[in-house]
Structure 1
Amino acid sequence: MTILLTWPEGTWPAVSFVMPVLNERPYLADAVAAVLGQDYPGETELVLALGPSNDGTTELAEQLAATEPRLRLVHNPVAHIPVALNLAIAASRNPVVIRVDAHSEIPPGYARTGVETLRTTGAANCGGIMAATGRGPYQSAVARAYNSPLGLGGGAYHGGTEAGECESAYLGIFRREILTEVGGYDESVRRGEDWELNLRIRERGYLVWFTPELRVTYWPRDTRKRLSKQFWSTGVWRGDLVRGLATRTPLRFFAPPALVAGLGASAAVATVDRVRPLRGPTRVLRAAHLVPLAYAGFLALVAGREEGSARQKALLAEVIATMHLSWGAGFLSGVTRGGGQTVDRSRH
């Protein structure tokens, strides 16, 4: 593992924040304020890569930029996140690049902690916790699902407590020279672009580091329709990545597609059994019905562990099922047909 040379103690390299933006008017002003209000001793700038929004986001961004010299805008007509990030990085100037999102808010000491982490570890990239939070019943339930290891799985950035080497970093605080060396974000990967980029960084022998002190407030999707669209597209592109990276993909990513396949098998067996009842050895196929029974038990267990009313618990179970099934179905589509022209339309 290559440990990179670092900046002398007491010096603070200039930092460029880069933010892809599409239809984020309700969140953009707070996200920008959180970046520009950083308690960081060095020079900072923020570059927004503006997609073709239809909710007034671009007009708001222009208003903000008109009064803030540290804020600059670039346009991203194709709307894809990796393209937006590469455009913003190309337009930025500083040796440390910090990815931020309009759907997130970073704490005041985020940049300081991130640069200090790069300094002390010699890492090429570092990140921390995605601390999901919500407004209203549905978004709050989605946030609880994000923050539960039984909702999104075992990624460190959903609830890790120990600092250390990791496979991918949430958002990311990068050394510019490493981004340049590995070629930036792969613009053919529409979702999961962060995981793919960090894989290339690690394959070059560099360190990717997780530290729980880097805690970011994340506002997840706030309706069932938006959530299912987001997780479908994410699943599709994860499946597409697996086509070439199956042996380097953590096993937890295969759980949702296995669930969807099992539920599909149960439905198929039930249909056949109704048309022509299974007899003899073929009755063993009814074992497929254990999948929906086991999953229902899993959802009941997860909901039962959560505090709140019966309605809140039921909503949490529904949200987790939406995440798992949308992601798993998307994964199966991606692994069999590729990503194609699939895009995340949850913010359109």
Structure 2
Amino acid sequence: MPVLNEERHLAEAVRQVLAQQYEGPIEVVLSIGPSRDRTQEVADAIAAADPRVVVVPNPTGRTPNALNAAIAASRNPIIARVDGHAMLPPDYLATAVETLEQTGADNVGGVMAAEGVTPFEQAVACAMTSKIGVGNARFHTGGQAGPADTVYLGVFRREALERVGGYDEHFQRAQDWEMNHRIRETGGLVFFQPRMRVSYRPRPNARALAKQYFHYGRWRRVVSRTHQGTINLRYLAPPAAVLAMLLGIVVSPFFWPGLLVPGVYLAAILAGSVLTGRGLSAAALLRLPLVYVTMHVSWGTGFLTSPPSLSKPRPARQTALSQNLRGD
């Protein structure tokens, strides 16, 4: 578990891991970043009460560094990535191990089941499980079991992580997609298992959602610069829409039909909100168009403005995990 500022949810998240209906041994490695709350104290108390829990430091506070530190401190041949606020269903690990054995996959993962409490969170959850919001990614929208480009969280064979050198610590975001790409490039199988559903709590307001999706777009472009040929139309749609709407607004003082571009987009969003928002409360439904626009525009803007300075240097990749494996 990479953990940062998770005082509220950490104890319950760890409890649900330790309570898994799984016959094999389980260890939990908490990689704790420099939190602003009592996360460190909570983690230390959990470890003191249960010998299956180990705490390791992550001074950088960055997710890929935390994951590599936790993997290096772990001992078992199967590694499950779990977030500090993730709530696993009781059969999560058993289903994952069964799927690994049946498919021969290197990594299996399931559905990021977004669930909201407030009307805004409920609107985000709806958008994150619809093709209008996130395209056809099965770990968001569900679908049939089978090979996938990437999955949510992930349960890995240790040998696969060692083969690719663990998480690339250059990538502050999109590190899961990037490592799954390397697993597939080295002949491994990434497998989507819809029976593995993990509850996910969406961002609570538009500002936090915009920041999240801006960084998703920004770092997804960094991945595309690093690994040529990894961009498809689904990823290009948001930046293309942002460019088209911006151009339409710029030319509209001289050519009024330019306003048709943002107008058609907004009309499509309103219609899509009505279609996908069935079952939402009136308060959540009213927020759904704002959520769709925030996700699309933030992701597209992040992709378009991703600076070349974020690009990964060309020298050979070296991660904390690969250093540990070599004994550096």
Q: Give the superposition deviation at 1:246.
A: 4.5
Select which of 98, 112, 118 maps to 1:130: 112
Q: Give the structure with higher Rg (CA).
A: 1
Q: TM-score, normalised by structure 1?
A: 0.85
| Distance in 2 between residues matched to 1:243 and 1:291, nearest whole Å | 29
Match of 1:44, SS state, is coil
Aligned to 1:210: 192
Aligned to 1:264: 246
| Distance in 1 between residues matched to 2:258 and 2:51, nearest whole Å | 61
Which aligned pairs between 1:1-348 and structure 2 lie closer than 5 A?
A: 19-270=1-252, 273=253, 278=254, 283=255, 286-305=256-275, 306-307=277-278, 308-334=280-306, 336-339=307-310
Which has the larger displacement, 60-69 or 183-192? 60-69
Q: Give the superposition deviation at 1:160.
A: 2.4
Residue 146 to residue 107, structure 1, CA distance change in 2 (3 Å): same
Match of 2:302, SS state, is helix
The C-alpha deviation readout for 1:218-273, integer Å capped at 9, x for no partner, is 11211222211111111111111122334222320111111111122122213xx2
Q: Give the superposition deviation at 1:297.
A: 1.4
Q: Give the superposition deviation at 1:172.
A: 0.7
In the alignment, structure 2 segments of 5+ residues that lack a partner are 313-328
Q: Note if contact 1:46-1:72 (Cα within 8 Å) is conserved in structure 2.
A: yes
Q: Note if contact 2:238-2:296 (Cα within 8 Å) is conserved in structure 1.
A: yes
Q: Note if contact 1:103-1:220 (Cα within 8 Å) is conserved in structure 2.
A: no
Amino acid in the other structure paired with 2:202: P
How many pairs does the alignment contain?
310
The C-alpha deviation readout for 1:246-305, integer Å capped at 9, x for no partner, is 4222320111111111122122213xx2xxxx3xxxx4xx55433211211121112212
Q: Note if contact 1:47-1:92 (Cα within 8 Å) is conserved in structure 2.
A: yes
| Distance in 2 between residues matched to 1:312 and 1:322, nearest whole Å | 15
Amino acid in the other structure paired with 2:274: G
Q: Note if contact 1:236-1:338 (Cα within 8 Å) is conserved in structure 2.
A: no
Which has the larger displacement, 50-59 or 206-215? 50-59
The C-alpha deviation readout for 1:202-228, integer Å capped at 9, x for no partner, is 111111111111111111211222211
Q: Give the superposition deviation at 1:340.
A: 7.0
| Distance in 2 between residues matched to 1:27 and 1:339, nearest whole Å | 32
CA RMSD of aligned residues (A): 1.6
In the alignment, structure 1 segments of 5+ residues that lack a partner are 1-18, 342-348
Which has the larger displacement, 134-143 or 196-205? 134-143
Amino acid in the other structure paired with 1:160: G
The C-alpha deviation readout for 1:135-161, integer Å capped at 9, x for no partner, is 222222211111112111111101222
Q: Give the superposition deviation at 1:185.
A: 0.5
| Distance in 2 between residues matched to 1:188 and 1:113, nearest whole Å | 32
| Distance in 2 between residues matched to 1:103 and 1:232, nearest whole Å | 22
Q: Give the superposition deviation at 1:64.
A: 1.6
Q: Note if contact 1:127-1:214 (Cα within 8 Å) is conserved in structure 2.
A: yes
| Distance in 2 between residues matched to 1:291 and 1:27, nearest whole Å | 44
Aligned to 2:315: none
| Distance in 2 between residues matched to 1:24 and 1:168, nearest whole Å | 25
Match of 2:153, SS state, is coil
Which has the larger displacement, 140-149 or 306-315? 306-315
Q: Give the superposition deviation at 1:134.
A: 1.5
| Distance in 2 between residues matched to 1:327 and 1:85, nearest whole Å | 25
Aligned to 2:324: none
Match of 2:79, SS state, is strand
The C-alpha deviation readout for 1:112-146, integer Å capped at 9, x for no partner, is 00000000001111111110111222222211111
| Distance in 2 between residues matched to 1:173 and 1:265, nearest whole Å | 44
Q: Note if contact 1:74-1:87 (Cα within 8 Å) is conserved in structure 2.
A: yes
